[in-house]
Every structure is written in C-alpha cells, then in structure tokens.
Amino acid sequence: MTVFFIGAGPGDPELITVKGQRLIRSCPVIIYAGSLVPMAVLEGHQALQVVNSAQLHLEQIIALMKSAHEQGQDVARVHSGDPSLYGAIGEQIRHLRELNIPFEIIPGVTATAACAALLGVELTLPDISQSVILTRYADKTSMPAGEELASLAQHRATMAIHLGVNNLHKIVAELVPHYGADCPIAVVHRASWPDQDWVVGTLADIEEKVQAKGFRRTALILVGQVLASDSFAESSLYRAGHAHVFRP
C-alpha cells in the first residue's frame, strides 16, 4: 500500500500528468483538496472512497490514510499545482514516516508555469533574468529570516508571489525600491480555469488595475523585466555557429 501525493496541476484537468491521471483512476481511495482541485480531475475514477480534504483537519486525513494502509489500499492524495510547492505535504509525510506508511510524490504543473503560458512569456531570458524566485507574502505565516520580500527583491530576478493579492499595496511598496516603478508586473486570477483573468501593468499602476478587476484571492503575482522585454540576447544553444555535442 502506498500514499501517492499527486499534483493535479493549476486547474485545467488536461494539465495533470499521465501518471497522476492513471493513479487517480486506479487507487481505491482518493483524498482530494476540493477547494482547489476541480472534480473533472477525478473523472474516470473507480475509487471505493472519495473524500474532500477541505473539510478535514490533519489528524483526520492521517487517520484515513492509516485506515487505508491497514486494509492494503493505495491512496491518491490529490493536491493542486505541484504538491511540493505550498502543498502542505511535509506535515503529512512526517506522520506517514512515523507510521511506516510508504509514500510517493507525483509532480504537477505549477501555477507559475500556467501563468507564464497564459501570458505568453519565458520567465528566464538571457541578460534579463536567469533566476525565478517562488515565494509568498508573509501575512498569517511569517517568513524565515532573510526571506522577507524586500530581501529577495534585491536580486531583481523574476519573482512569483503567492497568496499576496490582498496585500498588493504593501508588496508594491517593498518591490519599487529594487525593481523600479516602471517594472512590469502581472496579476493572474485562477490561471487555466474557465474563469481565468489577468491584468498586466507596472508597479506604478498595477494596484488600480487589480482593484478594477476585483481580484481578492486565488491570484498569482509575477514581477520582472522578462514580462515586457524584447531587448535580450539569443541563447547560445540555437545560435548558428555555436557547436555542441548534438550539433558539431
């Protein structure tokens, strides 16, 4: 018996991996994060038990996994996006290890990747940014020392900020000294869902644009020059005259 932590992707049910879909359709027990995982992701399942974890606390979730283990049943634990990013699987894994219950993580498409696809941009451009910082805004949960937004902003790398749209004013104030008021920024609401929406602007005008849209939750903030730059060098990989092992 194994607990499979499955990344369902950002919302579009077609953005789940083949492996993730196969396991959902074969596991006799499914525990899914119903607040962010659409029911369409579970289509075709043959499970004996399907539970929405949005209504449960951690101990209840672990109890379900333990019960399945005792009955020799595999569990599909379905999370949104990629479960290793803000998926709260670490605390579940800690309990499973204490109980000697095997587990496996099945990666998923991240919200950041879905937003880049929607905006039609590459997040890493030569000479512009070769790093992507995935972080969150410190609201109810504090950030470790050195990971405050202002500290990360000093790198001027492409940044994806989760759980911050309700504190956009504070975020902009922390970013402007490092990125500049004219730096491009996008706020994407429910990327890949049928009701997806987004706005693109600069740090100077993004607050007004987001307010007009009325975004309040389930939005990702992307900031960086890659969002609006055409002045970057071509990659060495495909440059004529650049030799490598596959193109002598």
Domain boundary among 57, 87, 106: 106
Mark whether 92 and 117 lie in a shared domain: no
Question: How far, in Å, CA of 217 to CA of 189, rounded?
Answer: 8
Q: Determine the structural domain holding residue 214 and report its residue range.
A: 111-227
**Beta carbons of 10 and 110 less than 8 angstroms apart:** yes
Mark whether 221 and 119 lie in a shared domain: yes
Mark whether 126 and 101 lie in a shared domain: no
- Domain assignment present for residue 23? The answer is yes
**Amino acid at site 25:** R
Confidence category of residue 237, pLDDT binned at 50, 70, 90: low
Mark whether 116 and 102 lie in a shared domain: no
- Please count the structural domains in the chain: 2
Answer whether residue 41 shows pLDDT above 80: yes
Mark whether 117 and 98 lie in a shared domain: no
Mark whether 146 and 72 lie in a shared domain: no
Question: What per-residue confidence (pLDDT) applies to 150?
Answer: 92
- Domain assignment present for residue 193? The answer is yes
Answer whether residue 72 shows pLDDT above 90: yes
- Domain assignment present for residue 243? The answer is no
Beta strands in the chain (DSSP E): 3-7, 29-32, 49-52, 75-79, 103-106, 132-136, 158-162, 184-189, 197-202, 219-223
CATH of the domain at 185: 3.30.950.10
- Domain assignment present for residue 80? The answer is yes
Mark whether 39 and 16 lie in a shared domain: yes
- Domain assignment present for residue 245? The answer is no
Confidence category of residue 248, pLDDT binned at 50, 70, 90: confident
Confidence category of residue 141, pLDDT binned at 50, 70, 90: confident
* pLDDT, mean of residues 35-50: 95
- Tokens 């289509």 identify what position? 43
216 or 62: which carries more pLDDT confidence?
Answer: 62
CATH of the domain at 23: 3.40.1010.10
Domain boundary among 106, 139, 156: 106
pLDDT in tens, 27-37: 999 999 999 99
- Domain assignment present for residue 244? The answer is no
Pairing of strands 75-79, 29-32: parallel
Question: What per-residue confidence (pLDDT) applies to 244?
Answer: 66
pTM: 0.90
- Domain assignment present for residue 247? The answer is no
Mark whether 101 and 124 lie in a shared domain: no
- Domain assignment present for residue 241? The answer is no
